[in-house]
Structure 1
């Protein structure tokens, strides 16, 4: 089967998030049985390539983060026409969510929804992106999403939608061996203030820095690094904040496994893959109590605190940080919890949905008959 995936974000792009990692992990596993082409937003240094049996094609202009996204969304419906496919998979993506692909093609379509936060982006950019999200949800009939919360949101807007919940996964458990516990607190993710809430984390860390032996390690890349550095300096903790850059593979699990705690201060999330990766590495997670993270941070594996309350976040860090026995207990529970998020099984489940969509479309054409 030829699959055209409107993947939006290349996992090799600086600042890319967990959604692009999910796409790469699934696509490379099913590429042995299907021909997969992924259309991604262009960026400086991007090239058309084949990686792990998957073809990646940059679309649009490499003009910086937001301009490149605009050019991608404007051009991708037209570029998609040039690629033959039995199935078109549309990834809902920031900032507008959907390019309304069912309007542009008669081929079978499937929406993969890892993200439904266009209202936040509408407020951020003062543009009505949420209208595209609303229409996209209503136009599509088949969906894959990553959480029960997201499924409920889709059904609230489109009661006819068929939604399969297939979570994200973690890499090979061999990448997350038992490691000696360090003293640092770790943030891992895109360096973006509006969504990821790093400003809230810095403020909370500043309140408890005198009680914390280690540093705050910020790993990842993204558009807001300079703003984060400026904020840390303004809070007087620049000397206690380390930037580790983008980390992947074994290095990522080494960082997570040696951390005392991993903190996810996100204002909104799609799934929270970093939480699962931290738990797989045996490290407890402290996060805000927001819908998606409730499903991936059980009470015996970490702490959820009232959303966006900096004082509560700081207090949770201060309470758990010195309690190494409790941290070890949570770490063991986290490793066990993370076993269910296996990429091989997840890829097979998503492949089955792809095949079901194509079979249903073929059956519909046969019922209609010629003409």
Structure 2
């Protein structure tokens, strides 16, 4: 198949590389020997079109330091690319973001699948100024209604989106995120730190809640650190600016990590924490589980599977006190951490990227075979 993937993030982009990007590269690098794959991605300074990791990349937009301006220009120019060249592909996968409404379904005869990672709902209105948030909120409400072919990453997101879609839907599988099988063989250690591994996004990821909860544990567990790792969407210094000096010294930022450094951080942590206010299906949860680490998450519907499957705990979303209490429970009970870690490994075994890539390929083949 000749596949066009619309996704703005790439590994070297100065604007970050998150779960949607990781998913795309993990899946397509497993399919590239059997298919002709092109990424249509956001342009940035000094980047050039061509083969990257065996995948064809075409970059459109402008070279700007402004994320907002770059995304706007990328959206317009990507839509033009689809209108001019879309018919040359067998299938187009559009990653849904309210900030990038390409309307690609209406620009080409080639079938388009809308891949939905997650939705912000009313959180966009709380996170951004009204100037930015209201258009994003409106696009998220109406844009999926224009499509009839979907791939969802989370069953919760699927239920929320399809509840609004009127008429018959031609395709709507849930194809989750995954892990590299090598993580299952990593020996678990137990160093004196708690790990957060995701985008440094204070509102979305609930990092304000996390540092306040950690501060509550300061006197009783003065030998334990909090390590944050991930792309710095919000300034780390702003996050810790109001902490006391004693606590601030024990909150460390490891930067954006990948490869063996990420494995090292995961495998040695006491437990993994992700206190998000809204989410889809974070890869980092599966990776932590694969490394035998218990997981502590907020009790939003998208993350309740952690506690339901016995490899972690949920705290009441937004509650600093409950988050601190659950952190204390995990710190004080090594046997519980070990039990949850074992359950996590068993759970993660079901989410190999090798299997998920085949599921993704099968979904695309079904669309190409019956494009209408």
Aligned with 1:195: secondary structure? Answer: coil
- In the TM superposition, what is the alpha-carbon distance from 1:118 to its structure 2 partner? 5.7
Q: Who is 2:59 aligned against?
A: 58
Q: Who is 1:68 aligned against?
A: 70
- Please tell me the root mean square deviation across aligned C-alpha atoms, in Å: 1.8
- In the TM superposition, what is the alpha-carbon distance from 1:197 to its structure 2 partner? 1.5
Q: Who is 2:303 aligned against?
A: 293
Q: Who is 2:99 aligned against?
A: 96
Q: Structure 2: which 5+ runs fail to align?
A: none
Pick the aligned partner of 2:292 from 262, 282, 289.
282
Pick the aligned partner of 2:90 from 79, 86, 93.
86
1:211-235, Cα deviation, whole Å (9 max, x unpaired):
232211111122212xx32331311
1 CA distance for matches of 2:239 and 2:49? 38
Note the 1:13-32 alignment, pairs <5 A. 13-14=13-14, 15-32=16-33
Q: Who is 2:239 aligned against?
A: 231
- In the TM superposition, what is the alpha-carbon distance from 1:98 to its structure 2 partner? 3.3
- In the TM superposition, what is the alpha-carbon distance from 1:129 to its structure 2 partner? 1.8
TM-score by length of 1: 0.91
2 CA distance for matches of 1:97 and 1:209? 43
Aligned with 1:196: secondary structure? Answer: coil
| Pair 1:298–1:276, CA change in 2 (3 A) | farther
Aligned with 1:163: secondary structure? Answer: coil
Q: Structure 1: which 5+ runs fail to align?
A: 365-371
Note the 1:1-371 alignment, pairs <5 A. 1-14=1-14, 15-63=16-64, 64-83=66-85, 84-93=88-97, 95-96=98-99, 98-117=101-120, 119-123=122-126, 124-126=128-130, 127-159=134-166, 160-161=168-169, 162-174=171-183, 176-212=185-221, 213-225=223-235, 228-236=236-244, 237-298=247-308, 300-361=310-371
2 CA distance for matches of 1:72 and 1:297? 39
Aligned with 1:112: secondary structure? Answer: strand
2 CA distance for matches of 1:163 and 1:141? 8
Q: Who is 1:369 aligned against?
A: none
2 CA distance for matches of 1:202 and 1:219? 14
- In the TM superposition, what is the alpha-carbon distance from 1:296 to its structure 2 partner? 4.3
1 CA distance for matches of 2:91 and 2:306? 31
2 CA distance for matches of 1:241 and 1:45? 35
Contact 1:176 1:254 in 2 (8 A): no
Aligned with 2:204: secondary structure? Answer: helix
Aligned with 1:36: secondary structure? Answer: strand
Contact 1:97 1:132 in 2 (8 A): no
TM-score by length of 2: 0.91
